[in-house]
Chain A
């Protein structure tokens, strides 16, 4: 049976076990004088039985699916005839692929060597065995679990704490899953980056001022020198982010102050969701808004002042990105401003300060750590933002601080390096991973910094 079918079956068994367990506990309770004679509620006995029935099989299923393929592969290769035995890792993978495809019927068998076909047959045979033994084991496990669970039900059995414990562990498992996923992503990026740094020195990458990720296919190709200096990309990223922050911080902060301090309930109920609509607009929409509306407008405006504005200026991309980030900052700042205790405002107002003096001298300083934290999170958001800059910022890696000029960003370069057909062992492609890693480190540091600030000053007015 397929793993999916087993999964569905197990859930069915779990539900069945729940009703059996619950029914049994009720049956036990009836002669004793009602469910108050039981230690736990009948549903807990049901859940306990369901856990016994389904969880061991589910764990078995998970482990089986992880180890199933590598074990079969190694048995097949180990048993394969010597004439096709692989010599190195690359040919090992190639061979496995070929056998797998033969076994799946993707590759026609005609014209393949006898030993290959034998290996493929061996693989099919092993897979069949694995599948049936998994089905059988899963069924046996859940049946055994069901009987064990049912047999443990007694009036004094403490099902409630047992269920509590299982629940706690399930939650823990989910949390671990999230952490391990993050870890997995980081490690995969890290390994690819290490591979990249084998061909390009770390110092060249981190401090290099020239970015032209072209590698030669032939030795005599023109313009294939391939330099991987990431500085212009990071400068571009910072420039665009800075423009975004210049737009987003004042507007976001002030709208937050207005919403939290001045707006009446009615205005607030309308304005807050309206502002949050901005956060709901897909970034790709912002992207073409920036590229097709804002950038030409800025170029025309610039030329009327006698300025040369590139049609893919950092200003356009950054400005639109800033608009995108406004709701982010305003809703975070709104939260921290509202969290400033009313007693603080009362204290200031009772001193005869006006509302704006109170906001400026007491509320904002008190909320500052939270506001700074929010801004930091917004900065990492801006640095990681991709779609808007892909559409509205340029491709040319220029080392400039002029926002009217066209710049490119780290994220744009990652996109261009990885779209289309690429060979996955050339530095050109691997550079994307290195860029990703650096981007990740930068935003991680910013987040840690932000959280640190928030935490350090959080209790100050408590």
Chain B
């Protein structure tokens, strides 16, 4: 944590002014006015270690823990997301390191899925959604006007909450990406990509006999692994997973978790989950979101054994969420 420490004092000084007005508010409500004032005074980014411990969420401005990485694949700085007039994400800054599994946890509606969807610009499809801040992958700004969204999404794959195989055969589902991106020169190439992807998603053995049957005929867990195979067929660099196991039974979940473990050797993975056990099992670092703010980022073990922030602690001990 190099630049962070230097930036801290200046920021800490600017903070108290905003606090008292905010304090009175109830926990559930955020104060746009006081907050924007605070955001303006804040320049660089910094992980804040202490001092936030006894604060209410309303005046929480700092992310505690280690948000940043020296080996960052994706860097997000001061991200604000709005749906129309409603702000969903408040000033979030975080890095996702190469080949790391980053888990994002938090109560429902805390903005973790919204945040995830900004990483491959899936929020572009929502008309009223507006994203501010810098999101870079390997130093390249993802929201630059010249950037090709289509190419970006090929580099940042996504797996959704509910398995959503296309109403096509298993083979066609996996071949979909390679076909539209022209990754295969011949039928043989394509067969190979399909097989490799299915193998990587540990689905090959189960479906190799029925590649040309509809993907929708598979079980829920198989469908989700098919979606993962589909995502990795275009060799993305990052895979985003939005609660990939929330619609699955424990056995299918265990398979997917095992798979995430294996995939992290080749891919950078960001996973949103409702299950703290799952976050604890699969991730290297965990980010805790609360009401659109990033509260704490720390190595997973630390988050679940000795959380730095009282909100994180309250959440992982099940006091709310």
Which stretch of B133-141, B160-168, B204-212 is in the interface? B160-168
Are A352 and B125 closer than 8 Å at their CB atoms? Answer: no
B39 shortest CB reach to chain A, Å: 30
Q: How far is the CB of A10 from chain B (nearest CB, A)?
A: 56
- A352-B234, A365-B167, A460-B214 in contact; A347/B160 too (CB < 8 A)? yes
* A4 interfacial contact with B, CB 8 Å: no
Task: Give the dominant DSSP class at B's interface.
Answer: helix
On chain B, the residues within 8 Å of A354 by CB distance are 150
Contact with B along A341-379 (1 / 0, CB 8 A): 101111111111110010001100110000000000000
Let me know if B164 and A344 touch, CB within 8 A.
Answer: yes
Bound CA–CA A341/B150 (angstroms)? 21
Q: Which of A285-301 contact B (CB under 8 A)?
A: none
B62 to chain A, nearest CB (A): 32
Among B151, B167, B180, B234, contact of A460 (Cβ-Cβ < 8 Å): B167
A264 at the binding interface (Cβ < 8 Å): yes
Name the CB-closest residue of B to A343: B164
Distance of A345 Cα from B125 Cα, bound (Å): 10
A371 to chain B, nearest CB (A): 13
Which chain A residues border B89 with CB–CB below 8 Å?
none
Interface residues of B in 154-185 (CB under 8 A from A): 154-155, 157-158, 160, 162, 164-168, 176-177, 180-181
Q: How far is the CA of A362 from the CA of B164 in the complex (A)?
A: 11
Which of A264, A350, A357, A462 is the most central at the interface, judged by chain B CB atoms within 10 Å of its CB?
A: A350
Interface string of A325-355 (1 = CB under 8 A from B): 0000000000000000101111111111110
A346 to B168, Cβ gap below 8 A?
no
Complex Cα distance, B230 from A350, in Å, reads 10
Whether A460 lies near B216 (C-beta < 8 A) is: yes
CB of A3 to closest CB in B, whole Å: 58
Q: Which residues of A contact B152 (CB under 8 A)?
A: 352
**Out of B154, B162, B214, which one reaches A351, CB within 8 Å?**
B154
A424 adjacent to chain B (CB < 8 Å): no
Q: Does A461 contact B (CB under 8 A)?
A: yes
Q: Which of A345, A352, A362, A461 contacts B154 (CB 8 A)?
A: A352
Please state if B167 and A366 are interface contacts (CB–CB under 8 Å).
yes
In the complex, A137→B109 CA distance in Å? Answer: 69
Within the complex, the shortest CB–CB distance from B284 to chain A, in Å, comes to 23
A264-B127, A461-B216 known; A349-B153 Cβ under 8 A: yes
A366 to B164, CA, bound (A): 12
The count of residues in chain B whose C-beta lies closer than 8 Å to any C-beta of chain A is 29
A351 touching B164 in the complex, CB below 8 Å, given contacts A264-B127, A460-B214, A460-B216: no
B268 CB within 8 Å of chain A: no
Q: Which residues of A contact B151 (CB under 8 A)?
A: 352
Nearest CB of chain B from residue A317's CB, rounded to whole Å:
38
Shortest C-beta distance, A233 to chain B (Å), equals: 40
Task: Give bound CA distance, A460 to B217, whole Å.
Answer: 9
Contact A341 B180, beta carbon cutoff 8 Å: no
Q: B153 is contacted by which of A345, A352, A366 (Cβ under 8 Å)?
A: A352
Q: Which listed residue, B164, B167, B230, touches A346 by the CB 8 Å rule? A: B164
Q: If the complex has contacts A343-B162, A345-B125, A460-B216, are A351 and B167 also in contact, measured as CB distance less than 8 A? A: no
Complex formed: what's the CA distance from A348 to B164 in Å? 9
Provide the residues of chain A in CB contact with B181, threshold 8 Å: 352
- Bound state CA distance, A316 and B31, in angstroms? 66
Does B231 belong to the interface (CB within 8 Å)? yes
Contact A343 B160, beta carbon cutoff 8 Å: yes
How far is B230's CA from A32's CA once the two chains are assembled, in angstroms? 70
In contact, A348 and B122 (Cβ under 8 angstroms): no
B120 & A350 in contact (Cβ 8 Å cutoff) = yes
Assembled-state Cα–Cα distance A264/B127 (Å): 9
Contact indicator B180/A349 (Cβ below 8 Å): no
Contacts of B120 in A (CB 8 A): 350
Judged by a CB distance under 8 angstroms, whether B272 is at the interface is no
A362 closest partner in B (C-beta)? B166
CB-based contact B158/A361 at 8 Å: no
Q: In the assembly, what is the distance between CA of A347 and CA of B224, in Å?
A: 12
Instruction: Name B230's contact: one of A344, A349, A351, A462 (CB within 8 Å).
Output: A351
Q: Which residues of A contact B103 (CB under 8 A)?
A: none
Chain A residues near B104 (CB-CB < 8 A): none
Residue B227, interface by CB 8 Å: yes
* Nearest-Cβ distance from residue B130 to partner chain A, whole angstroms: 16
- Given known A343-B162, A362-B166, A366-B167, contact A351–B180 (CB-CB < 8 A): yes
Please, how many angstroms separate the alpha-carbon atoms of A351 and B233 in the complex?
9
Q: Which of B125, B157, B160, B180 has its CB near the most chain A CB atoms (within 10 A)?
A: B180
Contacting pair B180 A347 (CB below 8 A) = no
17 A-B pairs within 8 Å (CB atoms) are namely: A344-B166, A346-B122, A346-B158, A347-B160, A347-B166, A349-B122, A350-B158, A351-B177, A352-B150, A352-B154, A352-B177, A353-B177, A353-B180, A357-B180, A361-B166, A365-B167, A460-B214
Residues of A within 8 A of B (CB): 264-265, 341, 343-354, 357, 361-362, 365-366, 460-462
Not counting A349-B153, A351-B230, a sample of 9 additional A-B residue pairs whose C-beta atoms are within 8 angstroms of each other reads: A343-B162, A343-B164, A347-B166, A347-B227, A351-B231, A352-B150, A352-B177, A353-B176, A460-B167
Return the 6 tightest CB-CB contacts between A and B, nearest first. Answer: A352-B154, A350-B158, A352-B153, A343-B164, A347-B164, A351-B177
